[in-house]
Amino acid sequence: GLEPGDIIIGLDQKDHAVFTQQREEDIFMCMDIQLVEALCGFQEPISTLDNRTIVITSHPGQIVKHGDIKCVLNEGMPIYHRQYEKGRLIIEFKVNFPENGFLSPDKLSLLEKLLPERKEVEETDEMDQVELVDFDPNQERRCHYNGEAYEDDEHHPRGGGVQQT
């Protein structure tokens, strides 16, 4: 005979294309949805790790915002020593917005009438009008001044130069 002993098994967890493990029993995924789905509802089928298909449903009027995190109970990993219980499937939503110019100006004004009112800003002489542009991380950090905002030396004094004699 042989002496009885322990069997040691090592497991390596493989990465999954859709799900990542958060805690032992919770799994996480990102879901991309279109703006119309975020505002008007959607149904999205998902293939689970145990080869079932579940349908995630957001009902009309149940608005999903970009970055919202929601969960589906009992669709995560099995819970140790609890044969019929599972953790949560946690979903982070990414809302895809349409490209610039996707609507004509007349249709854009119709859309604006359907949405909540936007905030109007009453501009004063103390405010400076600036332009918002796309961010390019490779572009140099430069300050572009039009000169007007810093002409008032009383409020923004410039350092004097050294006088040479």
Ranges of each domain in the chain: 20-96
Q: Is 12 exposed, middle or buried (0-12, 13-18, 19+ CB in 10 A)?
A: exposed
pLDDT of residue 35: 96
Residue 143 confidence class, pLDDT cut points 50, 70, 90? low
Task: With a cut of 80, say whether residue 148 has pLDDT above it.
Answer: no
Total residues found in the chain within this entry: 165
Return d(Cα 30, Cα 93) in angstroms, integer. 6
A 10 A CB-CB count for 40 gives 14
* Span 73-89, pLDDT tens digits: 999 988 888 888 999 99
User: Looking at the DSSP assignment, which residues form a beta bridge with residue 146?
Assistant: none
Q: Provide CATH code, domain 20-96.
A: 2.60.260.20
Question: Quick one: tokens of 156?
Answer: 């923004």
Q: What's the pTM value of the predicted model, to 2 decimals? A: 0.66
* Span 88-112, pLDDT tens digits: 999 999 999 999 999 999 999 999 9
